[in-house]
Amino acid sequence: MSGTAGTDRRAEHEPTFAATPPFPEAARAALANDQLRANLGRATATIRTKRAAVVAERADWESLRLAGAAIKDEVLRDLPALLEQLERAVTDAGGIVHWARDGAEANAIVAAIVREHDATEVVKVKSMATQEIELNEALRQEGIDVWETDLAEMIVQLGHDLPSHILVPAIHRNRTEIRDIFREEMWRVGRPAPDGLSDDPPDLAEAARLHLREKFLRARVAVSGANFAIAETGTIVVLESEGNGRMCLTLPEVLITVMGIEKLLPTWRDLEVFLQLLPRSSTAERMNPYTSTWTGVTPGDGPSEFHLILLDNGRTDVLTDTTGRQALRCIRCSACLNVCPVYERTGGQAYGSVYPGPIGAILTPQLRGIAKHPVDKQTASLPYASSLCGACFDVCPVRIDIPEVLVHLRGQVVRQSEATHRLPTAEAVGMRATAWTFRSSRRLSLAERAAGLAGRLFGRRGRLRRIPGPGPVGAWFRARDLKAPARESFRAWWRRTDGGRGGD
Amino acid sequence: MRIALFITCYNDLLFPEVGQAMVRLFRRLGNDVEFPAEQTCCGQMHFNSGYQDACIPLVQRFVAAFAGYDVVVTPSGSCASMVRRYHPLVAELAADRGADAGLADRVAAVSPRVLELSEFLVDTLGVTDVGARFPHKVAFHPTCHSTRLLGVGDRPTRLLAGVEGLTLVDLPRSEACCGFGGTFAVKNADTSVAMGRDKVDDVLGTGAEVLTAGDTSCLMHIGGLLSRRRSSVRVMHLAEILAATGTDA
């Protein structure tokens, strides 16, 4: 599933999510990995507690959430006009704007710009959009080296691994594993890890700093994503913690920013709301250490050439779904991952997408076109990868009702299954049968009597234990008992005793 | 005040004692309760599994069965949240399908009157001491839909605090989902069980004799894991504890 220890470390291709099985199967494999669960449990518990503390400091948190959702909804409503406004503002400030319908177009634009400058490598700021379109692999095919400079992204890249978290893509790794990756891999691609490297976080950070420094100083082209783009001014905004982003955004001659079209904000003032919502939700900080903003190019200051690539890649299709489109409000904070009881146990790679966790379960299927055409089994399994506990909605800084969208997408999965299967699935038959039973209280009474009888036949001391079988029955009883259906249902008791008035 | 009991389909079939406890409790508090026999199911399993169209007739039946009551009380925070939050969406769907344009109005008349047990006791009847006696060590699992969708808050624990002899123990990570999640429990059985086992560990760590909640669906899952582990910890619905007078438990 991932390029973890034991797989070919000199693989010709970067690992991809393409081979991920449907969620239940991928989850089973992840659940069997005790180290993974221990790493994730520790990390998510820590960030959850910290986030709750910094959010509690703001008495106006709910107002901020409402404002964030309202601004993003305005963006989605006026997207075409705002994008053209952004294009004009960036162009006026000396930048060059490109429009990319999908990942292939965006990747080709980036590759062409890099080749134009006779460059053979790029340094990268952490970016979800470029992960989404697998830019690294595309550039590698063109013979261009790509260096991730965010510490966690670098750990994933050096380890020939796949990301498992939006903000902390190497959250599934502990520090000993990271030290081993540094020792075994850094020397292949640049400055080796210092001799006798320990697994102390400051030592690991220093090793990363030394390794990256030569790449920052050498690279002539940088690639970034964007947290926000201000339509009014043409300003791009990147928030980060490590300063690697600031290096990439200021040192190279050429800067290429790939940005999903939904990352817009209408005005500079709107940024105020998001600079409060994002750091507290993502890193649990009042303010992140580095916030970089730039508007086109400034002679003698930073890159002399700036390209902005506006990426659609399925987003306009998502916009047409009035329930699903709220997923495009997402500001990639990962608060929903950190509170998700499913994510906490399975980790991010089980979701088979760069967008894992609750937001991934609603964003990935939509970006892959679930509303337009039947999707593969892995994609169709994602909306079901949730117990609908609602913790994600509670913490979402832009109030995406993730459970509502999950259930909505499940409806799309069911309708597609009905349209493409000649015979209904066993599940569909079961659902139809139960719905038919529930449409009549008389039929329900009869079914309850039959179940009560079955309970007496198969139950022991009122319990059903270890009933083998395929499908949902076997799935329940593998690890759980079940109380046997009652000898007499409530409604039968009520009828017999006149609601208890006629004795028990 | 005309009070109807919405027993919910799985309590009807698997846990009739929960409904019987509610009837005893309400009568002890001086309130009679009716059981509209036409009721069946709120449609949550179908709605949450993606069979939303199948819910339309169930919602039509629900509003017909419970029309005319002042309050509809149910022993399930989860089903109450389905009715209050999602029946309006099913009505919208029915209108979109040209199936029943008037359903929205009927839902608007009935669904806000549907209350979960602790809401009814604390808000409608205004009691927190229901005269119960239950001399046992009890842990309380708040359940996701009661807390996050309905917002019942501390109503259940205030009711438990009023029970004579009861010792309420602190359940660590109580707000964490137990992993039941309806069809999630079987569609993603491994993950569901992994979540449930962590919950069971937390419960066992408290030394409680009884685990209670406002939803038997979650208790069925946690109880199934406890039973498989041959644990002596019993699961009981909140209503059963509140109905207890010390002689029957």
Q: Tens digit of pLDDT for each residue in A18-35?
A: 889 999 999 999 999 998
**Cross-chain residue pair A488–B40, CB shorter than 8 Å:** no
Q: What is the mean pLDDT of residues B164-174?
A: 97
Confidence at residue A7, expressed as pLDDT on a 0 to 100 scale: 38
Q: Which of B35, B52, B184 sits opposite A386 (nearest CB)?
A: B184
pLDDT (tens digit per residue) in A51-66: 999 999 999 999 999 9
Q: A438 touching B, CB under 8 A?
A: yes
Q: Please report whether residue A401 resides in a domain.
A: yes
Confidence at residue A422, expressed as pLDDT on a 0 to 100 scale: 81
**B19: chain A residues, CB-CB within 8 Å:** 490, 493-494
Q: Per-residue pLDDT for B140 more than 50?
A: yes
Q: Are residues A355 and A309 in the same domain?
A: no
**Cross-chain residue pair A439–B40, CB shorter than 8 Å:** yes
Mutate to test the interface with B, among A388, A417, A497, A501 (most CBs of B within 10 A): A388
**Contact assessment for residue A346 and residue A381, using Cβ atoms and an 8 Å cutoff:** no
Number of domains in chain A: 3
Chain B from 18 to 77: CB within 8 A of any A CB: 19-20, 23-24, 27, 33-35, 37-41, 43, 45-52, 54-55, 57-58, 61
Q: What's the one-letter identity of residue A227?
A: N
Identify the CATH number of the domain in which residue A242 sits. 3.40.50.10420
Q: Please report whether residue A271 resides in a domain.
A: yes
**Cross-chain residue pair A493–B16, CB shorter than 8 Å:** yes
Q: Are residues A38 and A86 in the same domain?
A: no
Q: What is the mean pLDDT of residues A266-288?
A: 97
Q: Per-residue pLDDT for A4 more than 60?
A: no
Q: Please report whether residue A394 resides in a domain.
A: yes
Confidence at residue A14, expressed as pLDDT on a 0 to 100 scale: 74
Q: Are residues A341 and A415 in the same domain?
A: yes
Q: Are residues A141 and A245 in the same domain?
A: yes
Domain B137-243 has CATH 3.40.50: yes
pLDDT (tens digit per residue) in A176-199: 999 999 999 999 999 999 999 999
**Cross-chain residue pair B228–A432, CB shorter than 8 Å:** no
Q: Are residues A251 and A143 in the same domain?
A: yes
Inter-CA distances, B120 with A52, A408, B52, B70, B83, Å:
31, 31, 29, 11, 15
**Contact assessment for residue A176 and residue A248, using Cβ atoms and an 8 Å cutoff:** no
Confidence at residue A1, expressed as pLDDT on a 0 to 100 scale: 36
Confidence at residue A260, expressed as pLDDT on a 0 to 100 scale: 98
What is the extent of the structural domain holding A231?
79-149+221-313
Angle at B63 between CA B60 and CA B64, to 5 degrees: 80
pLDDT (tens digit per residue) in B45-79: 999 999 999 999 999 999 999 999 999 999 999 99
DSSP B124: I
Mutate to test the interface with A, among B146, B228, B233, B237 (most CBs of A within 10 A): B228
**Contact assessment for residue B5 and residue B34, using Cβ atoms and an 8 Å cutoff:** yes
**Contact assessment for residue B121 and residue B159, using Cβ atoms and an 8 Å cutoff:** yes
**B191: chain A residues, CB-CB within 8 Å:** 24, 27, 31, 342, 345-346, 385
**Contact assessment for residue B171 and residue B203, using Cβ atoms and an 8 Å cutoff:** yes
Kindly indicate the confidence band of residue A12, based on its pLDDT and cuts at 50, 70 and 90: low
Q: A442 touching B, CB under 8 A?
A: no
**Cross-chain residue pair A439–B57, CB shorter than 8 Å:** yes
Q: Which of B34, B58, B182 sits opposite A435 (nearest CB)?
A: B58
Kindly indicate the confidence band of residue A456, based on its pLDDT and cuts at 50, 70 and 90: confident
Q: Please report whether residue A197 resides in a domain.
A: no
**Cross-chain residue pair A438–B52, CB shorter than 8 Å:** no
Confidence at residue A421, expressed as pLDDT on a 0 to 100 scale: 83
Q: Please report whether residue A427 resides in a domain.
A: no
Count CB atoms within 10 A of the CB of residue A443: 13
pLDDT (tens digit per residue) in A458-476: 888 888 888 878 888 889 9
Q: Per-residue pLDDT for B131 more than 70?
A: yes
> By CA distance, what is A408's nearest residue in B?
B50
* Cα–Cα distance for residue pair B91/A323, rounded to 1 Å: 15
So what's the ipTM on this one? 0.96
Q: What's the mean pLDDT when you consider all of chain A?
A: 93
Confidence at residue A468, expressed as pLDDT on a 0 to 100 scale: 79
Tokens of A426: 């066993």
* Cα–Cα distance for residue pair A389/A119, rounded to 1 Å: 49
**Cross-chain residue pair A391–B40, CB shorter than 8 Å:** no
**Cross-chain residue pair B227–A393, CB shorter than 8 Å:** no
Rounded to 5 degrees, what are φ and ψ at B66? Answer: -105, 5
Q: Are residues A364 and A404 in the same domain?
A: yes
Q: Per-residue pLDDT for A455 more than 90?
A: no
Q: Are residues A105 and A142 in the same domain?
A: yes
| DSSP string over A141-200 | HTT-EEEE-SHHHHHHHHTT-----SS-TTTT--HHHHHHHHHHHHHHHSSPPPTT--S-
Confidence at residue B241, expressed as pLDDT on a 0 to 100 scale: 98
pLDDT (tens digit per residue) in A142-188: 999 999 999 999 999 999 999 999 999 998 899 999 999 999 999 99
**Contact assessment for residue B225 and residue B196, using Cβ atoms and an 8 Å cutoff:** yes
Q: What is the mean pLDDT of residues A206-216?
A: 96
Q: Are residues A303 and A412 in the same domain?
A: no
Tokens of A19: 């081979």
Q: Are residues A357 and A491 in the same domain?
A: no
Over pLDDT 90: what percentage of chain A? 81
Q: A290 touching B, CB under 8 A?
A: no
Q: What is the mean pLDDT of residues B36-43?
A: 96
Q: Which of B9, B35, B48 sits opposite A388 (nearest CB)?
A: B48
Kindly indicate the confidence band of residue A250, based on its pLDDT and cuts at 50, 70 and 90: very high
Q: Are residues A241 and A143 in the same domain?
A: yes
Strand pairing of A254-260 and A221-224? Answer: parallel
